[in-house]
Homo-oligomer: A and B are copies of this chain.
């Protein structure tokens, strides 16, 4: 079971590194700048989680595979993503959505392993899922995706709740894992595709 979670964790690292590298490409950064942005996007959320939990040194210091995955992803991005016109606009948000779903479950799992409560676990899933993307968007001077009206934090929270409740109800680990990731991913992709949003809390427009 651990092996599958570890595999998904490295997958999440790769897709977030890709999303960071693509964002860097839109800002014309040099190769090492691209590497920095890909890295903070891929390991930022998990680093904040580990620093808050006190499980230090943080995960990527203890296990070099994360940085290796980021390096390979960035190099592959350099090689294969050369023609900007062949990079469709939806690639960045879709990579981000996949990373969001994968990292949410990883974060919840790590918190539950420390025997923390279900609520804390959902919050840790949220931090792991949205943390890296927030840092990426802040550094690129863009409004963080989590702040826009489209459903985003909601997808992570729903995925986290599904995972926690599934395990609590005695579901098989693998079922809970896939169910929670699918929930978060489907919600987020649907939001991207049809521009879904919850009713906004709006203090600006006269009602």
Contact = CB atoms under 8 A, between A and B. Distances in A.
A30 interface: yes
A147 interface: yes
Contacts of A207: 82-84
Interface residues of A, number: 72
A34 B150 CA distance: 12
A200 B78 CA distance: 10
A123 to B, nearest CB: 7
Interface stretch (A47-55, A98-106, A175-183): A47-55
B30 A198 contact: yes
Contact of A28 (B33, B149, B151): B149
Interface in A168-207: 197-207
A28 B201 contact: yes
Which of A119, A140, A153 has the most chain B CB atoms closer than 10 A to its own CB?
A153
Interface of A: 21-22, 24-37, 39, 47, 50-54, 56-58, 61, 64, 67, 77-78, 81-85, 87, 116-117, 119-120, 123, 126, 130, 134, 138-141, 143-144, 146-154, 157, 197-207
